[in-house]
């Protein structure tokens, strides 16, 4: 029984995704436009980072230009993968206003699973490609030798980064049950977090480190793994070895996300509508 | 937060003289834009939070860069860099770097034809009401952002009343220029099937070339020339340079003059495009 | 199968805290509501906007937690057993779509079939049945957003019925539909009930829906049941009567004092007269018999009371006017 139930759910997800993909391809113009703009946005964001580092012979926060390409790449790749699969979650407030959430309640699947599987943004593939290209470039310009340790760290970094950003989207969805017109407040941490992820955490003040290293573990998505890859020391609250805790912090992010979601759903049933 | 009463006292024209009467509808539209914006308190607080978080991260990075460069980075000292960051964050809710507008939708579905029936100039009404909305956003978004920056990071303040006045003018020109340029994006819909491409391009490029994330003085020469040949630096970078005092004296006046030049150009193009679009609409029967 | 009711609510209550300016106020959207719907019944759940209809439905389906009281839907606790319940209930919200907006209609059925774990054979049989009876064949490949309102509502109802639920809840299913579309939808629902014994709970403003579809009405006002019974009983309760309109052969003095009636008016010098049937058990035949000794009747018609008028009267007879905000 459990097998057929699971198979049915998977089939439903496959059909939804399949149709999404077809319908996104159907809007040819919009799709191509999104592809081009995604690439352009990726390049502009990379340029913003490079422009700063290019003017600094002594580097910044213990990173040089080459190292920061790696930080940017890991952050961008993780974020764009998460955005592609669950990025629509932080639109929950529009789902609530449109009554879509009520419809989710009428279907025999877990609500979060329905929300996650309700859409997929294939146009983000272009963005993923930018992140991937940046990662390849980052590996090359830092002369990384792809030995076992490096590969392990790279895989760990990409997986944890993606999952952590996905957790941020889910957390934002949960928070939006409370803040129906407050999507901007969650943006502070979802997109602010994305911005933080491509920075060296060593330049932050202690309060910023508390928020973006430990509360929302953004430093673990790109900066700390880069320290591991390049054998850099780090500083103060963010020593180089801390990056090995990325999986733990990913779990922490998901704990927060699921608790936030649970509280949000309770709140909604309790009369938020 | 309450602004009622303040505009009302100034709204009343001194007498039924010609030009004042002619401006009166635009003033009403401006006030309506202000009122509308006052309702979105929750969204405003959320926006302020996002603004602050981005500002803190940006200033952490750029101030560290100033220190690493030995006290001056791209021509900015630490206090000037702080002003750059926080003024930029403050203006973000007012300078239109997204390129979306309600008018674009009205052009697309043809309901703009109704706007042409009203006894006001379509371009003037659209620009003025939007500027009203965006000037008001300075109160809940701009001022708190700048205050937060001043308290937590410390920043350069305008040295003298004339500089302050010039800075205020420069900010107003920057906002108006951005709105007038977004108007061009909207009316491109008279000729294009879909303006999303133009709008998206505007959104991607404007922030970067206006110097939202890094001062454009850090750009390599070719990129700097490219930026200067667009109106975007005049929307954000110029006002910031004038207010922070990084550019002073007659150079500052020159920047404001350049803003005026860009604004005139954009408005004229907008007016011409509006008239051509209207003719096109009439020929095709809307 | 069992004698257990499909819906059983006891003392169901739901409060909302609303902000009015700076002050907070508690609104009792549903206040101590008792409701029982037996298997196979068709019940019209009617009332003004803001009377508590939508809130009740949200509690029946597990979207909202009751503030107090209890509710069992299909023998399940809606919030706790939401997912099991979802397999046994079909809901149509008139104003919110559960179809996939930018996909062809057919895709929505395929997705819903998968969601409800219908086997391939079952899926095909049921889809074919619904497509045929709801006449959806002409636009199965059209994206939902391009359907007309009438087409979309038929599709919504079909989608809610795809998994053959025991209970179908329809929230304003005919709102905004033209006469023909309403007619089709009603006919389909009558047939569906006959074929599958489906239980129907219907909220509506449209008394035509109630008259044609429902065995019983429940009138809700200020979150409590104001009336429960037949539609005819509701009319009597509100003191609304059937009116006999008589066309007479020649001008006649007002027909006063006919047993079981009151004279409501005369036109054309007494050529046309209207008598309200007020007494219990008064029939058209008995009135005609009484009248025939006094005048020659050429033609007659019976005007049924307007049910919306009935509801309005009933509200008026109960203290203040109903609230109008949702």
Which CATH number belongs to the domain containing residue C281 in this structure?
Answer: 3.30.70
Domain extent, residue C39, equals: 7-88+165-236
- The pLDDT value recorded for residue C307 is 60
Decide which of C206, C236, C266 is a domain's last residue: C236
**In this structure, are C22 and C82 located in the same domain?**
yes
Band of residue A1 on the pLDDT scale cut at 50, 70, 90: very low
- pLDDT given at position B3: 35
**Segment A218-232, tens digit of pLDDT:** 999 999 999 999 999
Q: What are phi and psi of C117, to 5 degrees?
A: 55, 45
H/E element holding C300?
Answer: strand C297-303
Alpha-carbon distance of A175 to A154, in angstroms, equals 31
- C-alpha distance from residue A35 to each of A41, A79, A86 (Å): 10, 16, 18
Q: How far is the alpha carbon of A25 from chain C, nearest alpha carbon, in Å?
A: 12
In degrees and rounded to multiples of 5, residue A256 shows phi and psi of: -60, -45
Q: What is the mean pLDDT of chain A?
A: 88
| Cα dihedral: B222, B224, B229, B234 (round 10) | 170
Residue C94 lies in a domain: no
Using an 8 Å CB-CB cutoff, list chain A residues near C140: none
**Whether C11 and C84 share a structural domain:** yes
Q: Residue C2 above 80 pLDDT?
A: no
- pLDDT on residue C8: 94
Q: Residue A168 and residue A85: Cα distance in Å, rounded?
A: 13
CA-CA-CA-CA dihedral for A248, A253, A258, A259, to nearest 10: 100
**Average pLDDT of every residue of chain C:** 84
With beta carbons under 8 A apart, name residues in chain A contacting C82. 105
The pLDDT of residue C126 = 93
- List the chains bordering chain C where 3 or more Cβ pairs fall under 8 Å: A
Confidence grade of residue C322 (pLDDT, cut at 50, 70, 90): very low
- How many CB atoms lie under 10 A from the CB of residue A99? 15
Of residues B268 and B284, which shows the higher confidence score?
Answer: B268
For C91-143, the pLDDT digits (tens) are 998 777 888 887 889 988 988 888 888 888 999 999 999 999 888 999 999 98
C248 within domain boundaries: yes
Say if residue C28 is in the same domain as residue C82.
yes
Residue position matching structure tokens 């109106």: B231
Contacts B214 to A, Cβ<8 Å: 48, 51-52
If asked whether residues C200 and C255 sit together in one domain, one would say no
Condensed to tens digits (0 to 9), the pLDDT of residues A144-180 reads 999 999 999 999 999 999 999 999 999 999 998 887 6
How would residue C321 be classed by pLDDT, with cut points 50, 70 and 90? very low
C117: nearest CB among A5, A15, A99: A5
pLDDT at residue B131 in the model: 94
| Helix, strand, or coil (residue C239) | coil
Co-location of C290 and C173 in the same domain: no
Residues C177 and C291 both lie in one domain: no
Q: What is the pLDDT of residues C257-306, one digit of tens each?
A: 777 788 878 888 888 888 887 776 777 788 888 888 888 888 888 776 66
Percent helix, strand, coil in chain C, to 5, is: 35, 30, 35
Mean pLDDT of A255-259: 96
Give the per-residue pLDDT at B2: 36
State the ipTM, two decimals. Answer: 0.90
pLDDT digits (tens, 9 = 90+) for B83-117: 999 999 999 889 999 988 888 888 887 788 888 88
| Tokens 């590996």 sit on residue | A139
Nearest C-alpha neighbor of C59 from the set C16, C25, C18, C99: C16
- C188 and C224 fall within a common domain: yes
Inter-chain touch B61–A52, beta carbons under 8 Å: yes
pLDDT of residue B14: 46
Please list the helix, strand and coil fractions of chain B in percent, rounded to the nearest 5, in that order. Answer: 75, 0, 25
Confidence at residue B55, expressed as pLDDT on a 0 to 100 scale: 93
State the pLDDT at residue A92.
87
- Interface of C to A at Cβ within 8 Å reads 14-17, 58, 61-65, 79, 82-84, 86-87, 89, 91, 93, 95-98, 100, 102-103, 107, 110-111, 114-117, 143
The Cα–Cα gap between B22 and C36 comes to 67
Contact assignment for A56 to B69 by CB distance below 8 Å? yes
Comparing B175 with B30, which gets the higher pLDDT? B175
CA distances from C324 to C50, C203, C308 (A): 6, 16, 15
Co-location of C70 and C175 in the same domain: yes
Count the domains in chain C: 2
How large is the average pLDDT for residues C154-162?
92
Three-class SS state of C97: coil
Identify which of A104-108, A169-173, C21-25, C91-95 has the greatest average pLDDT.
A169-173
Kindly state whether residues C84 and C171 are assigned to the same domain. Answer: yes
**CA-closest candidate to residue B248, choices B75, B108, B122, B123:** B75
Report yes or no on chains B and C touching (3+ CB pairs under 8 A). Answer: no
Q: Return the higher-pLDDT residue of C165 and B11.
A: C165
Q: What is the pTM of this model?
A: 0.81
Q: C141-163 in b/e burial notation, b at 16+ Cβ within 10 A? A: ebbbeebeebbbbbbbbbbbbbb
Question: In this complex, do B196 and A33 lie within 8 Å of one another by their Cβ atoms?
Answer: yes
Contact status, residue C90 vs residue C61, Cβ threshold 8 Å:
no
Residue B68 confidence (pLDDT): 92
Contact A55 B73 (CB under 8 A): yes
- State the pLDDT confidence band at B40, using cuts at 50, 70 and 90: low
Parallel/antiparallel/unpaired status of strands C216-221 and C42-46: parallel
Q: Given pLDDT bands bounded at 50, 70 and 90, which one contains residue C42?
A: very high
- The total number of residues shown for chain A amounts to 273
pLDDT at position A46: 92
- Indicate if C230 and C285 belong to the same structural domain: no
Name the residue among C84, C111, C143 with its Cβ closest to that of A16.
C111
Residues of B in contact with A189 (CB under 8 A): 53
Q: What is the pLDDT of residue B4?
A: 36
Q: Tell me: pLDDT of B12 over 60.
A: no
Query: For position C5, what pLDDT does the model report?
Result: 92
Same domain, C226 and C276: no
Query: What pLDDT, on the 0 to 100 scale, is given for residue B152?
Result: 76
* pLDDT on residue A271: 58
pLDDT at B15 over 80: no
Q: Give me the pLDDT at residue B93, please.
A: 85
Domain range summary for chain A, segments of one domain joined by +: 2-272
pLDDT grade, residue B211 (50/70/90)?
very high
User: Over 50: is that where the pLDDT of A115 sits?
Assistant: yes
| Domain-terminating residue out of C236, C268, C283 | C236
Over range A93-113, report the average pLDDT: 87
- Name the neighbours of B, counting chains with at least 3 Cβ pairs within 8 A: A
- The answer to whether residue C274 is domain-embedded is yes
- Residue of B46, B57, B204 lying closest to A196 (CB–CB): B57
């Amino acid at each position: 029984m459990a097998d057929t139930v699971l198979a049915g759910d998977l089939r439903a997800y496959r059909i939804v995704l399949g149709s999404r993909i077809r319908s996104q391809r159907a809007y040819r113009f919009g799709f191509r436009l999104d592809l081009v703009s995604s690439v352009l946005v990726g390049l502009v964001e990379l340029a913003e980072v490079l422009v700063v580092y290019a003017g600094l012979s002594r580097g910044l926060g213990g990173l040089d230009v080459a190292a920061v390409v790696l930080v940017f790449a890991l952050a961008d790749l993780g974020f764009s993968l998460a955005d592609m699969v669950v990025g629509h979650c932080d639109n929950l407030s529009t789902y609530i206003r449109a009554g879509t959430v009520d419809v989710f309640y009428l279907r025999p699947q877990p609500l979060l699973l329905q929300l996650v599987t309700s859409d997929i943004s294939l146009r983000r593939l272009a963005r993923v490609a930018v992140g991937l290209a940046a990662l390849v470039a980052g590996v090359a310009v830092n002369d990384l030798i792809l030995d076992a340790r490096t590969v392990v760290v790279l895989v760990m970094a990409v997986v944890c980064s993606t999952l952590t950003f996905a957790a941020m989207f889910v957390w934002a969805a949960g928070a939006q049950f409370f803040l129906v017109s407050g999507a901007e407040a969650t943006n502070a941490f979802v997109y602010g977090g994305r911005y933080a992820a491509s920075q060296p955490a060593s330049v932050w003040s202690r309060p910023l480190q508390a928020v973006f290293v430990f509360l929302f573990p953004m430093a673990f998505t790109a900066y700390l793994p880069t320290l591991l890859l390049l054998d850099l020391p780090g500083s103060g609250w963010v020593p180089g070895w801390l990056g090995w805790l990325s999986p733990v912090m990913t779990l922490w992010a998901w704990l927060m996300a699921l608790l936030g979601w649970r509280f949000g759903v309770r709140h909604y049933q309790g009369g938020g509508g | 937060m309450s602004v009622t009463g303040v505009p009302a006292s100034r709204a009343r024209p001194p007498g039924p003289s010609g030009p004042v009467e002619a401006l009166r509808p635009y003033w009403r539209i401006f006030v309506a834009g202000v009122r509308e914006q006052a309702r979105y308190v929750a969204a405003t607080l959320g926006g302020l939070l996002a603004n602050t978080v981005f500002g803190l991260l940006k200033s952490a990075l750029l101030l560290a860069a100033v220190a690493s460069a030995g006290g001056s980075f791209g021509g900015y000292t630490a206090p000037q860099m702080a002003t750059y960051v926080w003024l930029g964050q403050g203006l973000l809710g007012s300078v239109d770097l997204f390129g979306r507008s309600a008018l674009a939708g009205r052009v697309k579905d043809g309901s703009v034809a109704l706007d042409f029936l009203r006894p006001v100039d379509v371009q003037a009404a659209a620009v003025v009401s939007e500027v009203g909305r965006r000037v008001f956003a300075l109160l809940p978004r701009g001022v708190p952002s700048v205050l937060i920056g001043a308290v937590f990071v410390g920043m350069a303040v305008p040295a003298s009343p004339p500089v302050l006045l010039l800075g205020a003018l420069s900010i107003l020109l920057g906002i108006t220029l951005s709105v007038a340029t977004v108007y061009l994006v909207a009316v491109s819909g008279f000729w294009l099937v879909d303006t999303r491409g133009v709008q998206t391009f505007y959104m991607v490029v404007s922030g970067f070339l206006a110097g939202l994330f890094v001062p454009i003085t850090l750009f390599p020469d070719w990129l700097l020339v490219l930026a200067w040949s667009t109106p975007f630096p005049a929307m954000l970078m110029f006002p910031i340079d004038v207010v922070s005092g990084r550019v002073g004296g007659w150079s500052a006046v020159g920047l404001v003059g350049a803003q005026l030049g860009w604004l005139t150009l954009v408005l004229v193009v907008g007016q011409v495009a509006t008239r051509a679009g209207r003719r096109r609409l009439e020929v095709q029967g809307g | 199968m069992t004698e257990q009711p499909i819906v059983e609510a006891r003392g169901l209550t739901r409060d909302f805290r609303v902000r009015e300016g700076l002050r907070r106020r508690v609104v009792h959207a549903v206040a101590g509501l008792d409701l029982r719907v037996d298997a196979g019944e068709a019940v019209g759940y009617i009332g003004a906007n803001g009377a508590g209809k939508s809130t009740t439905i949200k509690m029946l389906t597990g979207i909202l937690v009751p503030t107090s009281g209890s509710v069992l839907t299909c023998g399940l606790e809606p919030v706790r057993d939401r997912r099991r319940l979802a397999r046994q209930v079909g809901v149509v919200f008139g104003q919110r779509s559960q179809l996939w907006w930018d996909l062809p209609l057919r895709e929505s059925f395929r997705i819903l079939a998968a969601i409800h774990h219908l086997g391939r054979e079952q899926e095909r049989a049921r889809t074919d049945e619904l497509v045929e009876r709801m006449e959806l064949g002409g636009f199965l490949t059209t994206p939902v957003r391009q359907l007309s309102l009438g087409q979309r509502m038929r599709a919504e109802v079909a989608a809610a019925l795809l998994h053959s639920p025991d209970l179908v809840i329809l929230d304003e299913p005919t709102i905004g539909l033209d006469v023909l579309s309403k007619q089709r939808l009603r006919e389909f629902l009558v047939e569906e009930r006959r074929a599958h014994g489906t239980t129907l709970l219907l909220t509506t403003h449209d008394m035509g829906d109630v008259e044609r579809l429902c065995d019983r009405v429940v009138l809700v006002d200020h979150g409590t049941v104001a009336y429960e019974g037949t539609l005819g009983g509701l009319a009597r309760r509100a003191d609304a009567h059937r009116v006999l309109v008589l066309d007479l052969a020649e001008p006649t003095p007002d027909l006063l004092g006919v047993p079981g009636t009151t004279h409501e008016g005369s036109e054309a010098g007494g050529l046309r007269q209207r008598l309200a049937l007020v007494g219990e058990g008064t029939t058209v035949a008995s009135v005609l018999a009484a009248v025939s000794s006094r005048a020659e009747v050429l033609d007659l018609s019976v005007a049924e009371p307007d049910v919306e008028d009935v509801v309005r009267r009933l509200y008026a007879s109960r203290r203040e006017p109903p609230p109008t905000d949702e």
